[in-house]
Amino acid sequence: MDKSMSYVQKHRAITKSRLANFVSDGQWEDVNARTAINEACASGKPHIELGVWSAPGQERPAFEHAVQQQFAPIDVGHVFTPSWSTHWVRAAIQIPKEFAGKPVRLEFDASCEAMVWSDAGEPLQGLTGGNSQRRCEFTLADRAGADEPLRVLYLEVACNGMFGNGLSNFLAAPDANRKFPLKTMRLVVPNVEGRALIEELAVLRAMSNGLDQDSPRAWHALAAANDAINAFTAGDQKSIAAARAAVAGFFAAKGGDGNHQVYAIGNCHIDTAWLWPYDETKRKIARSWAAQLDLLDRYPEYRFAASQAQQFEWLQELYPRLFERIQAKAKTGQFIPIGGTWIEMDCNVPSGEALARQFLLGQRYFERHFGVRAKVFWLPDTFGYSSQIPQIMRLAGTEYFYTQKLSWNNINKFPHTTFRWIGLDGSTVLTHMSPAETYTADVSIGDLIDSIKKHKDVVYSNESLYLYGHGDGGGGPCEDMLERLRLVGDLDGLPRVKHAHPNEFYEHVDRTARDLVSWKGELYFELHRGTYTTQAATKKCNRQAEFALRDAELLSVIAQSAARGFAYPAAELERLWKLVCLNQFHDVLPGTSIEMVYKDTDKIYADVLGSVAGLKQSAVVALAGHAAAQSPDAATGVLLVNTTGWPRTEVVAVPAAGPAGGSWQTRASDGARLMVAAAVPGCGTAVVDATSTAAAIPGSSTSSSDLSVEEQTGVAPVGAFEDKDGNVVLENIYVTAKISKSSGQLVSLWDRRAERELVPPGRAGNVFRLHDDAPLYWDAWDIEIYSMEKFAEQPAAEVTVADAGPLVASACVQVPIGKGSSRLKQWVSLSATSPRLNFDCEVDWHENRKCLKVGFTWDIHSDYATYDTQFGVVQRPTHRNTTWEMAKFEVCGHKFADLSEYGYGVALLNDCKYGYATLGSTMSLSLLRASKAPDANCDMGRHTFRYAVYPHAGTFTESDVVREAYQFNVPLVQLPVDAAGAGAVAGAGPFFSVEGAPSVVLDTVKAAEGDSRCVVVRLYETYGGHARATLVTRLPAASAHLANILEERTADAKVVAAPAATATAAAAGDGHAIELAFKPFEVVTVKLELKA
Q: Which residues bind Zn ion (CB under 5 A)?
A: 271, 381
Comparing every residue's Cβ against Zn ion, the nearest one is 381
Give least dist CB 575 to Zn ion, A: 25
Question: In whole angstroms, what is the distance from residue 873 CA to residue 522 CA?
Answer: 11
Closest to 445 (Cα-Cα) out of 194, 264, 204, 258: 204
- Secondary structure class of 80 (helix, strand, coil): strand
Give least dist CB 284 to Zn ion, A: 12
Cβ-based burial of 1068 (10 A; exposed 0-12, middle 13-18, buried ≥19): exposed
Give least dist CB 571 to Zn ion, A: 30
DSSP state of 633: G
Judged by CB, which is closer to Zn ion: 277, or 645? 277
Judged by CB, which is closer to Zn ion: 271, or 522? 271
Question: In whole angstroms, what is the distance from residue 46 CA to residue 287 CA?
Answer: 28
Before 934, cis peptide (omega within 30)?
yes
Long-range (24+ apart) CB contacts under 8 A made by 254-258 are 254/490, 254/491, 254/492, 255/490, 255/491, 255/492, 255/493, 255/494, 255/495, 255/496, 256/492, 258/462
Give least dist CB 347 to Zn ion, A: 13
- Secondary structure class of 807 (helix, strand, coil): coil
Judged by CB, which is closer to Zn ion: 475, or 647? 475
Question: In whole angstroms, what is the distance from residue 503 CA to residue 509 CA?
Answer: 10
Question: In whole angstroms, what is the distance from residue 280 CA to residue 633 CA?
Answer: 48
Give least dist CB 931 to Zn ion, A: 18
Give least dist CB 441 to Zn ion, A: 15
- Which positions ≥6 away from 507 have C-beta within 8 Å? none
Q: Cβ atoms within 10 A of the Cβ of 931, count?
A: 28
- Which positions ≥6 away from 350 have C-beta within 8 Å? 358, 542, 546, 584, 589, 870
- Identity of residue 167: L
Give least dist CB 566 to Zn ion, A: 42
Before 998, cis peptide (omega within 30)?
no
Closest to 619 (Cα-Cα) out of 632, 610, 628: 628
Before 46, cis peptide (omega within 30)?
yes
Q: Is residue 381 annotated as a catalytic residue, yes or no? A: yes
Judged by CB, which is closer to Zn ion: 448, or 588? 588
Closest to 716 (Cα-Cα) out of 806, 799, 782: 806
Judged by CB, which is closer to Zn ion: 381, or 842? 381
Question: In whole angstroms, what is the distance from residue 624 CA to residue 979 CA?
Answer: 10
- Secondary structure class of 862 (helix, strand, coil): coil
Give least dist CB 51 to Zn ion, A: 37
DSSP state of 635: -
Residues pairing with 72 in the sheet = 52
Judged by CB, which is closer to Zn ion: 381, or 595? 381
Whether the Cβ atoms of residue 654 and residue 632 lie closer than 8 Å to each other:
no
Judged by CB, which is closer to Zn ion: 271, or 847? 271
Catalytic residue, from 381, 480, 844, 859: name it: 381
Q: E strand or H helix at 138, and its extent?
A: strand 137-141
Give least dist CB 528 to Zn ion, A: 12
Give least dist CB 358 to Zn ion, A: 15
- Cα angle at 274 between 273 and 276, to 5 degrees? 80
Judged by CB, which is closer to Zn ion: 271, or 1047? 271
Whether the Cβ atoms of residue 420 and residue 437 lie closer than 8 Å to each other:
no
Question: In whole angstroms, what is the distance from residue 1001 CA to residue 891 CA?
Answer: 24
Judged by CB, which is closer to Zn ion: 271, or 751? 271
Judged by CB, which is closer to Zn ion: 119, or 381? 381
DSSP state of 147: T
Question: In whole angstroms, what is the distance from residue 835 CA to residue 951 CA?
Answer: 7
DSSP letters for 24-72: -SSTTTTTSGGGGSEEEEEESTTTEEEEEEEPSTT----HHHHTTS--E
Give least dist CB 597 to Zn ion, A: 13
Give least dist CB 381 to Zn ion, A: 3
In 492-586, which ranges are E strands? 496-499, 518-520
Judged by CB, which is closer to Zn ion: 194, or 590? 590
Judged by CB, which is closer to Zn ion: 394, or 586? 586
Closest to 858 (Cα-Cα) out of 895, 910, 904: 904
Judged by CB, which is closer to Zn ion: 53, or 274? 274
Residues pairing with 949 in the sheet = 837, 908
Whether the Cβ atoms of residue 493 and residue 215 lie closer than 8 Å to each other:
yes
Whether the Cβ atoms of residue 366 and residue 337 lie closer than 8 Å to each other:
yes
Question: In whole angstroms, what is the distance from residue 22 CA to residue 256 CA?
Answer: 31
Give least dist CB 655 to Zn ion, A: 43
| Residues involved in catalysis | 381
